[in-house]
Structure 1
Amino acid sequence: MPIKFSGWEAFCEKSRHLKPGQAPKSSHGYTMYHGTHKSSATAIISSGFRPSGGGTLGPGVYCSRDINKAMGYPGGCSANDRVVLKLRVRVGRVKKIDGQSWNMQTTWHQHGYDTAWLPATAGLEEDCVWDPKRLTVVGIAHCTDSATKTSLEQLIQQQQKSEGGGQDRQKVIKCKVCDDQTQLQHIVERCWECKAEICPFMDKHVCHKRG
């Protein structure tokens, strides 16, 4: 028997952007950015990321919640040749790298962590994700070449319509009631009193027929 609702309020974390200094929560998904050369962007969108062999936080895929950090990469090339990819990152188990955990700077994955987070202390914050399948390109955040930007956006749309394409991706569905994007269809009910369509993941529903 379906649950009947007639007025309620719930908390739903819809914000995927972290504020400066705000720690990412394990198992959540967030918006981050990755800077690359425009000649490499097509391969990343089509075939996924290739983890680096090393870096400040060791091997993995580097990204940042701060677009300004991403816009500085790759180094040594013209700003017009850079593309910043907008990502959806499932961070998994996160390890904050600070003075107390500096001994795990490049070995965090060996201790069971999926993502290393370096806070913005000496510079702009950055994250290193071990498994490239945890990152999905969802848009182009910056590209000065309009033709390249359009081409890459079309490629992203094609990838989103495909059923995996070898990337172990799931189809993203937008709920028609709460507008949240999810991989599982939300069950929509009708308010017991006013009969309006409601979703349990809405921020709140106030029934106007209640006295």
Structure 2
Amino acid sequence: MSGTVFFSGWRAVKDRIKTLSEDQQPTTGRVYTMFHGTQLKNAETIIRNGFVPSKDGLLGPGIYVSRNIDKAKCYPPNTDKKDKAVFKLKVRVGKVKKIDCDHHPMQKSWHQQGYDSAWIPPHSKISSIKSGREEDCVWDPARITLIDVACCVDDTKRKKLRRLISSQGTGNASDCDLCHQDESGEPHDIQTCWDCGDRICPFQDKHVCR
């Protein structure tokens, strides 16, 4: 038909969902950005070998992280800030248990009850948390991907650690190679364009046939 324009492809309009606020409970099965503070001397070992769960703590054994970077900056306690590093992480929280008071019946037994992570909300009734900031504990280190060094006073050491992260391939290991978004929670449904035959991801900003 004269004047008809044929085309194939799309442009996606993203739903700009706000980042999960500190007081919102992590949703089971989702992936969140969190932070972990450590001694600078241990940073390279963590990057190379992964996290080693604490044997005990407020929430029992596990890796302690927080969505609040200021919380992570306080760890380890009694350590000068020049001797600290704060890692930026992607955390697959799995099944989450909320712990919000002293002597909670599942405070240290949440994993035995089938949970993958425990979450203390900000301004909880747990008396030992004086800062009022939220805290999380993840049982399995495999749920945590180290993606960046968020804080390090020594810029030279920070750059060195970032290069090491890049060399380990952890910075973007779980990103889709088409849309470049995280797919560690669930693989994206890659399809073939019915017109040009290219591989396409439904989360791409756009696809235009060649």
TM-score normalised to structure 1 length: 0.76
1:172 aligns with 2:174: yes
In structure 2, the partner of 1:82 is: 84
Greater shift after overlay, 93-102 or 138-147?
93-102
In structure 2, the partner of 1:135 is: 144
Aligned-partner Cα distance in 2 for 1:70–1:10: 34
Describe the superposition over 1:28-84 as per-residue Cα deviations: whole angstroms up to 9, x where unpaired: 111100000100111111001111111111110000000000000001111111100
In structure 2, the partner of 1:167 is: none
Give 1:159 shift: 0.7
4+ residue segments displaced more than 6 Å: 5-15
Q: How does 1:153-168 map to 2 (within 5 A)?
A: 153-160=162-169
Give 1:18 shift: 2.3
Conserved 8 A contact 2:47-2:165: yes
Question: Which of residues 160, 165, 187 in structure 1 aligns to 2:190?
Answer: 187
Conserved 8 A contact 1:93-1:115: yes
Paired residue type of 2:181 = D
- Partner SS, residue 104 of structure 1: coil
Conserved 8 A contact 2:12-2:203: no
After superposition, the Cα gap between the structure-2 partners of 1:6 and 1:38, relative to the gap in structure 1 and judged at 3 Å, is closer
- Partner SS, residue 27 of structure 2: coil
After superposition, the Cα gap between the structure-2 partners of 1:92 and 1:39, relative to the gap in structure 1 and judged at 3 Å, is same
Aligned-partner Cα distance in 1 for 2:15–2:143: 22
Q: Give % identity.
A: 41
In structure 1, the partner of 2:119 is: 117
Let me know the Cα RMSD of the aligned residues. Answer: 3.4
Paired residue type of 2:110 = W
TM-score normalised to structure 2 length: 0.77
After superposition, the Cα gap between the structure-2 partners of 1:20 and 1:137, relative to the gap in structure 1 and judged at 3 Å, is same
After superposition, the Cα gap between the structure-2 partners of 1:102 and 1:185, relative to the gap in structure 1 and judged at 3 Å, is closer
Give 1:186 shift: 5.7
Conserved 8 A contact 1:50-1:132: yes
Conserved 8 A contact 1:175-1:182: no
Describe the superposition over 1:138-157 as per-residue Cα deviations: whole angstroms up to 9, x where unpaired: 00000010111011001100
In structure 1, the partner of 2:158 is: 149
1:41 aligns with 2:43: yes
Aligned-partner Cα distance in 1 for 2:44–2:143: 18
After superposition, the Cα gap between the structure-2 partners of 1:66 and 1:191, relative to the gap in structure 1 and judged at 3 Å, is farther
After superposition, the Cα gap between the structure-2 partners of 1:127 and 1:13, relative to the gap in structure 1 and judged at 3 Å, is farther
Conserved 8 A contact 2:145-2:170: no
Q: How does 1:51-90 map to 2 (within 5 A)?
A: 51-90=53-92
- Partner SS, residue 103 of structure 1: coil
Give 1:198 shift: 6.3
Describe the superposition over 1:104-129 as per-residue Cα deviations: whole angstroms up to 9, x where unpaired: 01110010000000100141101000
Conserved 8 A contact 1:58-1:106: yes
In structure 2, the partner of 1:165 is: none
In structure 2, list runs of 5 or more residues that go unmatched.
Answer: 1-7, 125-131
In structure 1, the partner of 2:3 is: none
